[in-house]
Each structure stands twice: as C-alpha cells, then as structure tokens.
Amino acid sequence: MNSEIIGLTDWLKTPPGAYLLAWERDRFDQAVSDIFGYHALQLGLPELDALQANRMPHKWLALSSMPGPPLQPSLQGHPLHRTESGSISSPRLALLADPAALPFPESSLDLVVLPHTLELGRDPHSALREVARVLVPEGRVVISGFNPASLWGLRQRRDHVYRRFGYDEFFLPDAGEYIGYWRLRDWLRLLDFEVESAHFGCYRPALSSQKWLDRFDWMDPAGERWWPIFGAVYFLVAVKHVRGMRLLEPGWKARRAPAVAPAAVANKKPASR
C-alpha cells in the first residue's frame, strides 16, 4: 500500500493527533503557568499555543518555515514583535528563524518551549545549544517529544521495516529522528541543564480510529500507574545552571544572628588584701 507520507500539521488533525495535542496542551499550561520572568519564546508547532497560560509580558513564536499567507510587511525583519496582549495571536505574526541561530542576544530569555522541535529539526544538537545560549542563568526550557520506547514508537519502527517492501504509510509523521528520553537527558546534562520534572502520557495503542481510541481510554490511568515510562510522548522541564554563579536572595530572607547577652565571668585569682 502506497500513500503520501503525512506531515505533523496534518497528523495533528487525525484522532490520535488530537488526542496527543489535548494532553500536551494541558501539560504545557500546568508547567509554564508558574514560570516567571519577562521574555518567553516558543520554537515551532504553531498549532499548539504552549505559552497560553504563561504571564510574561513579552512572548514570541519562532518558526523555521511559515505556513499559510506570508508575513505582514510591517513585521518582516522585526524579531521582537508582539501583540498588545503580549503574546502571538496568529502564526502569521510569528518570526522566521533558524533554530540553530536565534535572533536574540545571549542570556536574554527567561523561558523557551520546544514542542516536538528537536526531533523534527535538522540539527537538534545545535538547536539545544542555541537554547542554552539565549537563556538567562536559572532560565527554563520545556520540551515535549515522541517516545521511541512506547507502543507508538514500536509501530513506527515496524512501518520502517515494511518500507523495504514498498509500504509508505506511517502511523507517526516520518520526519526527523525521534530522540529517546534518556538520550535527551544526557544532552541536557552536557549543557549544564538540570531536569526539574518529567512526565509521560498517551498510553493508548497506536490506533487511527476515534472509536477504538475511546475504547482504550482505561489505559491512560493504568499506564501512569503500572508502566509510566512507556507513554507515547514525554514532557520535561529543565533549568539552566551556570557554574560559579549564585543568585542573591532578597534582604528580608537574610537571618540575623541572635544577640548574645554579656555573661559574668568569675575571677579565679584571689583578691589581694
């Protein structure tokens, strides 16, 4: 059976794509709502507003390719554009940027979110190094990606084997390289990131029918309890640490040493007569 390989944008409109998108939207909202600062960037996947719940005043969406109509003339070449509400309201208002060469100064962003950006990019190593460059010390990066060690990942590897016999229909988008969770943690460690939290989700089988996906909804709570690391997608939050740097705490947090009352000391030398 031969068919055109589906892209991520079209795949997200399918029942399994909508199922995954709903889980990731909820997870991003929970993760970014309590991350504070001034500047936040979403890199890729305009179908998901990953910064919707974040309250930073300056938020941008960067894409390596622009879907739909071209950028408005007034926005071309303007990398720091934002709407009056402080967020991007449409993919057409985003900026075009190479993930490996972002148009932001060093240590200028407080938060970067990467929804499936690394696995679908041409050079995930360079993109992650660029994220480390633009993040401020103690800044956060939030990453989601397909988990190769899952039922969906096994289905995708099987489809690649069938490809030798002329089978070109894949369950997941066949673009880029899916990065394993532990492999990604090693990359982050080399760039002085510390993983703060990690989650897995979407435990239902690799099924294309909404009817059959609904029949296996019991697998989501069961998977979270019994086989948590085998979810179809992983999600993690990591913080950037800079060696030799220590953030100063507010003055009201400094503890004062208790005052020591003077104590009388007995004179061991006998008084002279």
pLDDT higher than 90, residue 266 = no
How many independent structural domains does the chain possess?
Answer: 1
In a domain, 150, yes or no: yes
In a domain, 219, yes or no: yes
Chain position carrying tokens 């600062």: 37
In a domain, 258, yes or no: no
For residues 204 and 226, give the distance between their C-alpha atoms in angstroms, rounded to a whole number: 13
For residues 28 and 34, give the distance between their C-alpha atoms in angstroms, rounded to a whole number: 11
**Which residue range is the domain that position 82 belongs to?**
8-241
pLDDT band (50, 70, 90) for residue 97: confident
Lowest mean pLDDT among 86-95, 163-172, 184-193, 244-253: 86-95
CATH number where 79 lies: 3.40.50.150
Tell me how crowded residue 197 is: count the other CB atoms within 10 A of its CB.
Answer: 11
pLDDT band (50, 70, 90) for residue 76: very low
Tokens (6 digits) for 24? 């990731």
Calculate mean pLDDT across residues 73-83.
38
Tokens (6 digits) for 185? 């943690």
Calculate mean pLDDT across residues 46-63.
91
In a domain, 189, yes or no: yes
For residues 196 and 179, give the distance between their C-alpha atoms in angstroms, rounded to a whole number: 19
Distance of CA 206 to the CA centre of its chain: 23
**Residues forming a β-bridge with 39:** 58
Enter the pTM of the model. 0.77
Is the Cβ–Cβ distance between 62 and 94 less than 8 Å? yes
